Amino acid sequence: MILDSKIPEGPLKDKWTNHKNNINLVNPANKRNIDIIVVGTGLAGGSASATLAELGYNVKSFCYQDSPRRAHSIAAQGGINAAKNYQGDGDSTYRLFYDTIKGGDYRSREANVYRLAEVSASIIDQCVAQGVPFARDYGGLLDNRSFGGVLVSRTFYAKGQTGQQLLLGAYSAMNRQIAKGKIKMYNRHEMLDVVIVDGKARGIIARNLVTGEIERHSAHAVVLASGGYGNVFFLSTNAMGSNVTAAWKAHKKGAVFANPCYTQIHPTCIPVHGTQQSKLTLMSESLRNDGRIWVPKNLEDAKAVREGKLKAVDIKEEDRDYYLERRYPSFGNLVPRDVASRAAKERCDAGYGVVANDTNEGVFLDFASAIMRYGKEEAHIKGIENPSNEEIRKLGEKVIENKYGNLFEMYMQITDENPYKTPMKIYPAVHYTMGGIWVDYNLMTTVPGLYATGEANFSDHGANRLGASALMQGLADGYFVLPYTIGDYLANDIRTGAIPTNTPEFDAAEKKVVDEINKLVNNKGTKSVDYFHKKLGLIMWNKVGMSRTTEGLKEAIQEISELREQFWKEVRVPGSADDKNSELEKAGRVADFLELGELFARDALEREESCGGHFREEYKTEEGEALRRDDEFAYVSAWEYTGKPSEAILHKENLNFENVELKTRSYK
Amino acid sequence: MSQAKGLNLTLKIWRQQNAKSKGKIETYQIENISPDSSFLEMLDILNTELIDKGEIPVEFDHDCREGICGSCSLYINGEPHGPGKRITTCQLHMRSFKDGDTIYIEPWRAAAFPIVKDLIVDRSAFDRIQHAGGYISVNTSGNTVDANATPIDKHDADEAFNSATCIGCGACVAACKNASASLFVSAKISQYALLPQGQVEAKDRVLNMVKQAEKEGFGPCSNTGACEVECPKGISLENIARMNREFLAASIS
Ligand SMILES: Cc1cc2nc3c(=O)[nH]c(=O)nc-3n(C[C@H](O)[C@H](O)[C@H](O)COP(=O)(O)OP(=O)(O)OC[C@H]3O[C@@H](n4cnc5c(N)ncnc54)[C@H](O)[C@@H]3O)c2cc1C
Ligand code: SF4
Ligand code: FES
């Protein structure tokens, strides 16, 4: 197999324009004869469905939730990037491109990333026209904040609910097309296989999650916008139902899977509280704009905090270690996520953690200085002379509440502690997967007619994603990239006519799906699905998590494959296959995670360097920073399925950097 | 993260096989639940125990578990989303209960929200109300004016945002003796009514969405305000007042 990234010729800044000018178009009358399936209704799928339907295609959209508006994108908090340069602080398409390439530790494609930066500004125009209520300043203009890893303010936001507002925007655009009959929406449906006819993706097999019915749906092209696979770790910030199934089934049907080991462990999440925990909650990175991260300088203090004998606020300034500010003076608390996460782990491993959980994992995120700083500013604006500390604090708390009110409330709900008065406790958690289905410049996978967008593909973030860039990518793919590139492919399908579903290919795909479901519900096991999922999660977290070693990875590969065998022997799925059965849904997803997990660990083992979210203990500098090995590893690892994860074949797409110079990432 | 001792509880849970069958309350005992666990984690534990005993677990909707997707929808001890103000069921923690408590857990009850199974209801009526006008008719081509071309008064923008934070959970309907969807419908109408972009279609929007809500079988609003009290997002009754004004203006013109 040869991986052809189909990057257009010409200078970087002209590639996308030239490409759009040269690709085939489908005339409006013909679009009416073409069907497209979109799996997923998050930002990537929702935007694609709406735009494709507006263009005139017949769209069928699928999601496993009861409404497209509940896709996991809804949970995104902090914001969305765009190179608008409204703040006049030196932002530009090139700078956003450069920051993303650097932030991704030079493991992404220049051409894709440049295009992303190029279309970013249109996203904001589009969303405002749709009625997305972004935050504004007193002059009525859009406000911005800054995010980790960059030196400009280019992040647009709607309090701590940016994902919700953007998704409701895409959902509203979908609603308009649903009302027109151009989108047919299939809620509570799970895609369980892609159907390939004559080498092209021509449909899917889906299960109606309410009736259990197995359905066949055909189309001229299939788009996967099914999100990320962070739940392979069991505990993550992803929604409970987030899964790899759609992507993995596509992988097994020939779609090559890229960089599965690139995972983002987000530095600011609420620490684990106990073994009954079902998921982890993110505290938006935007908090690092105003929060300072620290642990006690003295081991005894850390111990006393854990034992509840010492309060954070009683630790003197000189006894605190603001370790990010100490290690990375130029970026301080705003270093990229991978760097911030590893630094927290380093401190906790050394015994300075402040949370009394099994592993003492937790550090402080402190707003006290920001509260006082803002309070003074407010007092000044309000003309209050000689304000008391108490007055200043009150005014400052108000400012912080306006900026992060809902996040603070969420934190209080979960922990029963008041972050206005005492520092938050946070720790890194699995959050996002940069890896995903390999796609070319047109977002097409290695299966003709099968596309992947949003978090489900691998394309833009390299080995580490910058904050506020996932929302940007999802909407860029769906509103502005795919609608052009898919036409180029579909131009050959104008005379094909509707794709029949009564063919041997659909028969075979359906049979495989039914067999697997029957195997699960008829299994005479004794252990719940969660039992296996939790075990898998622990292996992944301990051996394929924030730092990885050759030995650990080899063990993980072995353990995961054993666990998978045990799963198929011992899992118990109660209930039947012909009505609503959440355990059956989970079982299918965990079965796929158990395969993906092994490939994930293999990928991590093969990549003998540290880059972005992938940190190998063997490859670090004397100061403990990541050591990239560009001469040998400046490529995309793309895995081809051949029957078992252990036998997957590695293909390499070499990354050529013509416009940026590969440098050691430094945030010091 | 307290190390408090676990809770022993009696759970009275609505079990119903599907939309057509009759349901009933079943009783379960559960022990040693950490006060730091969430309410849904408590149900996870119950389900694991049921599975281990070879019984059928309780079905309930949930996904994000952080109060934003609007999936979770339990009627707990007679209150939508249970005790506690401005939170969803998934944000409810067991520290809100005492050792020895009996907890009733039922689905949303409304003719327009038929039961799917156990605690899951069908809220697709909400989607259909949005299809009737919950959008601004602008194509997603990106060829529109610059985002900063039209400044929007910060207060209006903030108000529009407040209305837009509705998560579509349906607690307002479950709380209302008439099973009215007015709070939900008015939140969407208000978001657009407050923004210049929403003006062009304002009249049709309010007429069509209100009509669709009636068609779905949601009841009329009699201004008791029970919805506002139970709404996890603090959507205020002012939205309903604004919708009524918009409706009146649209009806007479
Ligand atoms: C808590 C949190 C906060 C975040 N904050 C930010 C932020 O501030 N800024 C930012 O840029 N990014 C943020 N991210 C990342 C970002 O939200 C996601 O990467 C992005 O929303 C993914 O969008 P998506 O459309 O690709 O997939 P998703 O939104 O995950 O949607 C997946 C869709 O696929 C459907 N689906 C999945 N599998 C199947 C199947 N088998 N059959 C049928 N349907 C299926 C689902 O129903 C859903 O509709 C955050 C992520 C988290 C977890
Ligand atoms: S108005 Fe409140 S209670 Fe009603 S659906 Fe919206 S968020 Fe839920
Ligand atoms: S599960 Fe998403 S709001 Fe409760």
C-alpha B97/C-alpha B91 separation (Å) is 14
Above 90 in pLDDT, residue A38?
yes
C-alpha A457/C-alpha A251 separation (Å) is 12
**Which residues on B lie below 8 Å from A175 (Cβ)?**
127, 130-131, 134-135
Task: Lay out the sheet containing A363-366: strands in order across.
Answer: A263-269, A424-433, A363-366, A292-296, A320-321
Q: ipTM more than 0.95? A: yes
**Which SS3 state, helix, strand or coil, does residue A286 take?**
helix
Q: Cα angle vertex A57, ends A52, A62, to 5°?
A: 65
Q: Is A641 on the interface with B (CB under 8 A)?
A: no
Q: Is A408 on the interface with B (CB under 8 A)?
A: no
Through-space distance between the first and last CA atoms of chain B, rounded to whole angstroms: 59
Let me know how long chain B is: 253
More confident residue, B239 or A150: B239
Is B64–A74 a contact, with Cβ atoms under 8 angstroms apart? yes
Say if domain A270-429 classifies as CATH 3.90.700.10: yes
C-alpha A9/C-alpha A87 separation (Å) is 34
Domain limits, chain A: 270-429, 504-654
User: What percent of chain A stands above pLDDT 70?
Assistant: 100
Runs of H (alpha helix) within A61-186: 93-103, 110-129, 162-179
Structure tokens at B103: 């907890």
**Which residues on B lie below 8 Å from A72 (Cβ)?**
63-64, 69
Residue A257 pairs with which residues in a beta bridge?
A437, A639
Nearest to B8 by CA among B24, B23, B26, B28: B28
Q: Which CATH number fits domain A504-654: 1.20.58.100, 2.60.40.10, 2.60.220.10, 2.160.10.10?
A: 1.20.58.100
C-alpha B65/C-alpha B69 separation (Å) is 8
Structure tokens at B247: 């409706």
Above 60 in pLDDT, residue B2?
no
The minimum-distance atom of ligand 2 relative to the CA of B234 is 2
CB contact residues (below 8 A), chain A span 235-274, against chain B: 239-241, 271, 273-274
Range A572-599 average pLDDT: 97
Nearest to A472 by CA among A90, A45, A44, A136: A44
C-alpha A291/C-alpha A312 separation (Å) is 14
By DSSP bridging, strand A80-81 and strand A292-296 are unpaired
Q: What is the pLDDT of residues B203-215, one digit of tens each?
A: 999 999 999 999 9
Say if domain B124-252 classifies as CATH 1.10.1060.10: yes
User: What distance in Å separates residue A68's CA from the closest CA in chain B?
Assistant: 9
Is A572–B51 a contact, with Cβ atoms under 8 angstroms apart? yes
Amino acid identity of A550? T
C-alpha A119/C-alpha A47 separation (Å) is 14
Query: Quick check: A183 and A61 in contact, CB under 8 A?
Result: yes
Counting one residue from A and one from B, how many pairs have CB atoms under 8 Å apart? Answer: 228
C-alpha A6/C-alpha B201 separation (Å) is 43
- Provide the CA B32 distance to its chain's centre, in angstroms: 30
C-alpha A148/C-alpha A302 separation (Å) is 27
Q: What is the pLDDT of residues A212-259, one digit of tens each?
A: 999 999 999 999 999 999 999 999 999 999 999 999 999 999 999 999
Count the neighbouring beta carbons within 10 Å of the beta carbon of residue B23. 16
User: What distance in Å separates residue A654's CA from the closest CA in chain B?
Assistant: 33
Structure tokens at B171: 């607690």
Is A138–B138 a contact, with Cβ atoms under 8 angstroms apart? no
Strands (E) located in chain B: 7-15, 24-33, 75-76, 79-80, 102-106, 115-117, 120-121
Range B2-30 average pLDDT: 92
Burial A437-456, CB ≥16 within 10 A → b, else e: bbbbbbbbbbbebbbbbbbb
Nearest to A469 by CA among A101, A185, A106: A101
Count the neighbouring beta carbons within 10 Å of the beta carbon of residue A656. 12
Task: Identify which ligand lies nearest to the alpha carbon of B167.
Answer: 2
- Give the pLDDT band of residue B107 (cuts 50, 70, 90): very high
Predicted pLDDT of residue A220? 98
**Which SS3 state, helix, strand or coil, does residue A52 take?**
helix
Is A173–B140 a contact, with Cβ atoms under 8 angstroms apart? yes
Q: Is residue A191 lining ligand 1, measured as CB closer than 6 Å? A: yes
Above 70 in pLDDT, residue A56?
yes
Above 70 in pLDDT, residue A49?
yes
- Give the pLDDT band of residue A276 (cuts 50, 70, 90): confident
Q: What is the pTM of this model?
A: 0.97
By DSSP bridging, strand A635-640 and strand A363-366 are unpaired
Q: Is B186 on the interface with A (CB under 8 A)?
A: no
Above 80 in pLDDT, residue A149?
no
Is A179–B192 a contact, with Cβ atoms under 8 angstroms apart? no
**Which SS3 state, helix, strand or coil, does residue A180 take?**
coil
C-alpha A172/C-alpha A45 separation (Å) is 13
CA nearest ligand 1 atom 4, residue: A76
Give catalytic residues of A, as residue numbers: 337
Structure tokens at B221: 């609003």
Q: What is the pLDDT of residues B143-188, one digit of tens each?
A: 889 999 999 999 999 999 999 999 999 999 999 999 999 999 999 9
Q: C-alpha distances in angstroms, A191 versus A219, A507, B67? A: 14, 16, 26
**Residues with Cβ < 8 Å from A471, sequence gap 6 or more?**
A43, A73, A76, A79, A80, A162, A163, A166
Nearest to A595 by CA among A531, A644, A541: A644
Predicted pLDDT of residue A171? 98
Residue A196 pairs with which residues in a beta bridge?
A201
Amino acid identity of A149? G
Q: What is the pLDDT of residues B25-71, one digit of tens each?
A: 999 999 999 999 999 999 999 999 999 999 999 999 999 999 999 99
Predicted pLDDT of residue B143? 84
Structure tokens at A277: 């925990």
Burial class (CB in 10 A: 0-12, 13-18, 19+), A351: exposed
Quickly tell me which residue has 């109660």 as its tokens.
A574
- Give the pLDDT band of residue A623 (cuts 50, 70, 90): confident
Number of alpha carbons in the 13 Å side-chain half-sphere of residue A187: 17
In CATH terms, the superfamily for domain B7-117 is Beta-grasp domain (3.10.20.30)
Quickly tell me which residue has 């696979």 as its tokens.
A229
Predicted pLDDT of residue B4? 62
Our separate counts of H helices and E strands in chain A read 19, 19
Element (H, E) at A249: helix A245-252
CB contact residues (below 8 A), chain B span 39-58, against chain A: 40-41, 44-45, 48, 50-52, 54-57
The CATH 1.10.1060.10 portion of chain B extends over 124-252
Is A572–B62 a contact, with Cβ atoms under 8 angstroms apart? no
Q: What is the pLDDT of residues A450-487, one digit of tens each?
A: 999 999 999 999 999 999 999 999 999 999 999 999 99
Q: What is the pLDDT of residues A165-175, one digit of tens each?
A: 999 999 999 99
Query: Quick check: B32 and B7 in contact, CB under 8 A?
Result: yes
Predicted pLDDT of residue B171? 98
Query: Quick check: A631 and A611 in contact, CB under 8 A?
Result: no
Ligand 3 environment, Cβ below 6 A = B 62-65, 67-72, 88-90
Q: Is A87 on the interface with B (CB under 8 A)?
A: no
Above 50 in pLDDT, residue B1?
no
